[in-house]
């Protein structure tokens, strides 16, 4: 495995005669990331993982506690990536990625990036789409892997490659959860044991929604009243367009975000037609 920190080195290191898989990450890697690496390893001859905490997708372009406190542990990440059989790790600095500072030209995600997560995090998906476009240009992968945990991100990236004719196949990978049901997330490291317990209400409520033992109003009420939790949103949407759905006879996604203390957690579940 080779660690590369500059674009020039990356360009020179990537052979053009092999199928290439790319897994973009922000580091602080866990079993969710490992599952992306595993699928990408099976499907490609060369596996590239990137580690970059992208300031553009954080509040105030990274001038915020969420960016500053984002967990970073390159040594542990490299160990996990080595175990996953990654060939090249691209871990650039902010100035390497954005040598002129905040870029002038961005990829804009429009209404799709303004709803759900984007309503609470203005500009977040424009920042994601911009950095992912740069990574696609730098690596030119045949396939890129994203976690279904960030369902809106998957939908936005699929739209990005369709709208800009980027020749890459987007592969979505199922959510990996802890044994207690909490979706794995780098942000979970910031939860105290009690906060982690409080956070479990999120997956519990989504599971009840899937089983149809509660409706969306009950689900929202349960999250709104849960101890130590602040509900941001819970919606049932079309998985491709992210438009709200009332008719649950078609495949739908229940997507939610809560705050547990200062930590923002997201989760979602597919709600299939159960006759
Ligand atoms: P991040 O480092 O949080 O930007 O995540 C990098 C990639 O890993 C994204 O495509 C995420 O959706 C994916 N990912 C993060 N957590 C999980 C999880 N629990 N299960 C599956 N994929 C995940």
Report the atom number in ligand 1 closest to the C-alpha of 24.
6
170: three-class secondary structure by DSSP: strand
**How far apart are alpha carbons 59 and 70 in whole angstroms?**
12
User: What six digits make up the tokens of 256?
Assistant: 């939610």
pLDDT tens across 144-182, in order? Answer: 999 999 999 999 999 999 999 999 999 999 999 999 999
254: three-class secondary structure by DSSP: strand
Q: Are 201 and 229 in contact (CB under 8 A)?
A: yes
Q: Are 254 and 234 in contact (CB under 8 A)?
A: yes
Left (φ > 0), alpha (ψ -120 to 50) or beta: where does 22 sit? beta
Q: Whose CA is nearest to atom 5 of ligand 1?
A: 25
Which helix (DSSP H) or strand (DSSP E) does residue 130 occupy?
helix 124-139
Cα–ligand 1 centroid distance for 29 (angstroms): 9
**How far apart are alpha carbons 260 and 114 in whole angstroms?**
23
What percentage of the chain carries pLDDT values higher than 70? 98
User: Residue 273 — pLDDT band, cuts 50, 70, 90?
Assistant: low
**How far apart are alpha carbons 228 and 172 in whole angstroms?**
32
Residue 61 reports pLDDT greater than 80:
yes
Which domains are assigned to the chain? 2-173 (3.40.50.620), 186-269 (3.30.1300.10)
User: Can you give the pLDDT at residue 251?
Assistant: 86
User: Catalytic annotation on 33?
Assistant: yes
Q: Is 225 annotated as a binding residue?
A: no
**Cβ(146) – ligand 1 distance below 6 Å:** yes
Residue 275 reports pLDDT greater than 70:
no
**How far apart are alpha carbons 88 and 37 in whole angstroms?**
12
Cα–ligand 1 centroid distance for 213 (angstroms): 29
Q: Is 8 annotated as a binding residue?
A: no
User: Can you give the pLDDT at residue 54?
Assistant: 98
252: three-class secondary structure by DSSP: strand
For the chain, the distance separating the N- and C-terminal CA atoms, rounded to the nearest angstrom, is 49
Cα–ligand 1 centroid distance for 133 (angstroms): 18
């Amino acid at each position: 495995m080779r660690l590369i920190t500059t674009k020039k080195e990356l360009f020179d290191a990537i052979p053009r005669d092999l199928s290439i898989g790319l897994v973009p990450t922000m580091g602080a890697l866990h079993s969710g990331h490992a599952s992306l690496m595993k699928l990408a390893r099976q499907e490609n001859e060369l596996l590239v993982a990137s580690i970059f905490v992208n300031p553009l997708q954080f509040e105030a372009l990274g001038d915020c506690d969420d960016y500053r406190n984002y967990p970073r542990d390159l040594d542990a990440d490299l160990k996990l990536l080595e175990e996953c059989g990654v060939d090249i790790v691209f871990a650039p600095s902010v100035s390497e990625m954005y040598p002129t500072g905040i870029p002038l030209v961005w990829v804009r995600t429009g209404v799709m990036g303004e709803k759900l997560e984007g309503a609470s995090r203005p500009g977040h998906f424009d920042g994601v789409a911009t950095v992912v476009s740069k990574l696609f240009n730098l690596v030119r992968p045949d396939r890129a892997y994203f976690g279904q945990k960030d369902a809106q991100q998957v939908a936005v990236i699929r739209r990005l490659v369709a709208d800009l004719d980027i020749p890459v196949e987007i592969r979505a990978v199922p959510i990996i959860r802890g044994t207690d049901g909490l979706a794995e997330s780098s942000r979970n490291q910031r939860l105290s044991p009690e906060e982690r317990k409080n956070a479990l209400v999120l997956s519990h409520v989504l599971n009840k929604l899937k089983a149809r033992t509660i409706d969306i109003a009950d689900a929202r009420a349960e999250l709104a009243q849960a101890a130590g939790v602040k509900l941001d949103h819970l919606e049932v949407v079309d998985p491709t367009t992210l438009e709200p759905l009332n008719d649950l006879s078609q495949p739908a996604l229940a997507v939610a975000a809560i705050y547990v203390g200062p930590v923002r957690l997201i989760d979602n579940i597919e709600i299939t037609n159960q006759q």
